[in-house]
Amino acid sequence: MRVDRFLSNLPRFNRKQVRLLLVEKRVRIDGKIVSDPHAEVLEFSRVEVAEEVLQVGKPARYFMLHKPPGCVSATRDPEHPTVLDLIHEPNRDDLHIAGRLDFNTTGLMLITNDGQWSRRLTQPQTKLPKVYYVETEQEIGPQYALKFAEGLYFAFEDLTTQPAELIVLGPKAARLSIVEGRYHQVKRMFGHFDNKVLRLHRESMGPLVLDNALKPGEYRALRTEEIHLI
């Protein structure tokens, strides 16, 4: 939100007072004096006016997790362990999952308290590729790659999937890159050929790649340069 709008929304200031505060350089965002009414205030920003703190702000947090099988992509579940049960951090309830995985699907999960960041990561318009390693029950024929690149029609949603890239690694193994996240999409794509997916593992989301040093169930904080890739 623009800083002038943020301040004007408070009952204590009208628009004229806000303009004056900015001109007099009495407004600070994250410790820096701002005079531009278009300066952005985030939910994590500390906002001060004339030494009074109007929004304390909080640290933005970003984690990479190697999701194990048998784990629910949810904040709470009455029957099964959840992804957030694996995160041993203070104020864990503030965190949410950016891009879910099925119960037995493994691999990269990103967890944050930054809603804007996670939306950039997952919204369809960004078309960030998600790369999966896939093992199937039957052999993967050459027609798979052609059909996936063309797009598959999903009758339930009445839509055709975006073009996807398939690289065959072996008779029953492949690497698939998709830019969507439809319900059980990968399994349904292979299901078009009546080929059951036996193993599914997410290797990357856009430029963020699962750290090979992380064992299933382990996580680490993202580095600053990784956060800024999104």
Catalytic positions are: 102
The amino acid present at 37, given as its one-letter code, is P
SS (HEC) of the chain:
CEHHHHHHCCCCCCHHHHHHHHHCCCEEECCEEECCCCCECCCCCCEEECCEEEECCCCCCEEEEEECCCCECCCCCCCCCEHHHHCCCCCHHHCEEECCCCCCCEEEEEEECCHHHHHHHHCHHHCCCEEEEEEECCCCCHHHHHHHHHCCEECCCCEECCCCEEEEEECCEEEEEECCCCCCHHHHHHHCCCCCEEEEEEEEECCEECCCCCCCCCEEECCHHHHCCC
- Planar angle of CA 166, 169, 171, nearest 5 degrees: 105
